[in-house]
Amino acid sequence: MIFPRKWSLRRPGFLIPVFFLSFIQAYGQNYWLDAGSAGLGACFVTRSGQASAGLNQAGLGRNNKSSISLHHIRPFITSDLDIAAISLQLALKRGGAGLSLSSMGIPGMRQSSAWISYGLMLHPQLFAGAGIHLGNTSLAKEANYQMEAGFALGLQFLISDELTLGAHLSNPAAWSSYPGAISGRSMMISSGLSYLFYKTARYHTEFHVRNNKPVQWCNGLEIIIKERLQLLLGLKNQPWSLSAGISLNYRKLWICLSGTYCLDTGCTPYTSLSYEW
């Protein structure tokens, strides 16, 4: 988010961190992604996993296991801007519930975010989900400088064992306690598909559309090396970036490591650790 001009001029030391925090949000609507989605070029609309509560809530309806996961991101390899998140997802009889908490910032300025989500199986091949978003920006001497609230709606349609369609509408900052401030998070409409080739590789492609922003085209390839080992590759425009990662399952533990190289800003590493039951 960008603070009002008068406030910034009185405190010029905040201009640099505000710029970086704003750029992180402009870099992607979901300024935190699980390492799996990041490794696939930020594709998420057809995925179902340990981060569905904060990405496409329809994926909660497909989860048949409960999970708790930790996520860590270091944007531009800058330790002061680390993003940490935790996700809890509970599998229910005909769907699932999820809670996602994340925090990012620097000393004296921090942005916290929470998603409370639910997904439902409407039909054996059709899943829907919804989420409520709560956000807060705190300063050194003002714990609640700006509060935000928003929502998200998602759909996933399993046409066949190979082909999946997905759509998502997100507006995490529909309401703000400080109307004069400009939030880096705006309404975004996402749609895409994924297709499984020869039971060895799944291709993801999707478009992200935001108001007054270039259309973002994301592509990812999930290569199944073994049943418990996958290689992730991704490509995204606006800004142009390449990504790669690896996902490993050991009993009930999942670990995913990935990285993104953006032509504008450099490298960003992602780490996700999950436990399923």
- For 98-122, the pLDDT digits (tens) are 999 999 887 788 889 999 999 999 9
> Residue 207 contacts by C-beta under 8 Å, 6 or more apart in sequence?
190, 191, 192, 215, 216, 217, 218
Q: How far is CA 209 from CA 80, 107, 218, 238, in A?
A: 30, 33, 11, 11
Cα 92 to Cα 117: distance, rounded to the nearest angstrom: 13
Cα 30 to Cα 190: distance, rounded to the nearest angstrom: 12
Cα 25 to Cα 2: distance, rounded to the nearest angstrom: 11
CA dihedral for 90, 57, 49, 186, sign (positive or negative)? negative
Predicted confidence band of residue 212 (pLDDT cuts 50, 70, 90): confident
Determine contact, residues 191/205, Cβ cutoff 8 Å. Answer: no
Tell whether the model's pLDDT for residue 139 goes beyond 90.
no
Q: How far is CA 90 from CA 45, 119, 246, 274, in A?
A: 20, 10, 25, 13
Distance of CA 179 to the CA centre of its chain: 25
For the ranges 119-128, 181-190, 202-211, 215-224, the lowest mean pLDDT is seen at 181-190
Q: What is the pLDDT of residue 25?
A: 52
Distance in Å from the first CA to the final CA of the chain: 37
Domains of the chain (ranges; CATH) run 5-276 (2.40.160.60)
Q: What is the pLDDT of residue 3?
A: 43
Cα 134 to Cα 99: distance, rounded to the nearest angstrom: 11
What is the pLDDT averaged over residues 137-151? Answer: 88
What 8-state DSSP symbol labels residue 64?
-
For the ranges 73-77, 148-152, 190-194, 255-259, the lowest mean pLDDT is seen at 73-77
* Mean pLDDT estimate for the chain: 87
Q: pLDDT tens-digit profile of 239-266?
A: 899 999 999 999 999 999 999 999 888 8
- Going by C-alpha positions, the residue among 168, 174, 186 that lies closest to residue 37 is 168
| Helix and strand numbers, DSSP H then E, in the chain | 3, 14
Q: What is the pLDDT of residue 2?
A: 42
Predicted confidence band of residue 29 (pLDDT cuts 50, 70, 90): low
Cα 188 to Cα 148: distance, rounded to the nearest angstrom: 16
What 8-state DSSP symbol labels residue 79?
G
For the ranges 6-10, 75-79, 155-159, 173-177, the maximum mean pLDDT occurs at 155-159
Residue 227: other Cβ atoms inside 10 A: 7
Cα 87 to Cα 115: distance, rounded to the nearest angstrom: 9
Tell whether the model's pLDDT for residue 125 goes beyond 90.
yes
Tell whether the model's pLDDT for residue 144 goes beyond 90.
no
In DSSP terms, 268 is beta-bridged to 260
